């Protein structure tokens, strides 16, 4: 792996992280449900599915696949924040919201990845 690819992964990871941060700020007023995490996870999953489809058609190089999936999508999506927010919801007795978040993140994320793949392959 070339040093340029490593730098590109870092740069695109920063872009993804900043996009996640901006989404969090934009949706900060919604405190009853963790919409920001849901949105970035579903968008990231759709993006990952699209990259998988493009890779299957050889429309994108292995290096760009790595840069965009690991860097951009990796910086955008967040398993750790989702996990912590779910624990916090349970701790506050908000079981239904926690369960809804888990189900929506999983179902919509997998569906978005599958749709992204099917559209781009």
In which residue ranges of the chain is pLDDT below 50? none
Distance CA 79, CA 120 (A): 25
pLDDT per residue as tens digits for the range 65-77? 999 999 999 999 9
Token pair recorded at residue 1: 């792996």
What number of other Cβ atoms are within 10 A of residue 28's Cβ?
10
pLDDT per residue as tens digits for the range 102-117? 999 999 999 999 999 9
In which domain, by residue range, is 36 found?
A: 3-120
Domain count, the chain: 1
Instruction: Taking each helix axis as running N to C, give the angle between helix 79-91 and helix 35-56, from 0 to 180 degrees, rounded to the nearest 10.
Output: 150
Q: What is the pTM of this model?
A: 0.94
Distance CA 85, CA 59 (A): 37
Distance CA 104, CA 109 (A): 8
């Amino acid at each position: 792996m070339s040093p340029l690819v490593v730098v590109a992964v870092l740069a695109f990871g920063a872009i993804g992280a900043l996009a996640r941060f901006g989404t969090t700020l934009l949706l900060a007023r919604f405190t009853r449900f963790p919409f920001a995490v849901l949105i970035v996870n579903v968008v990231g999953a759709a993006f990952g599915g699209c990259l998988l489809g493009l890779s299957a058609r050889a429309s994108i190089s292995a290096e760009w696949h790595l840069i965009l999936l690991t860097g951009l999508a990796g910086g955008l999506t967040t398993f750790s924040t989702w996990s912590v927010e779910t624990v916090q919801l349970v701790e506050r007795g908000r079981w239904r919201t926690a369960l809804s978040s888990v189900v929506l993140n999983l179902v919509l994320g997998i569906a978005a990845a599958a749709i992204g793949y099917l559209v781009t392959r």
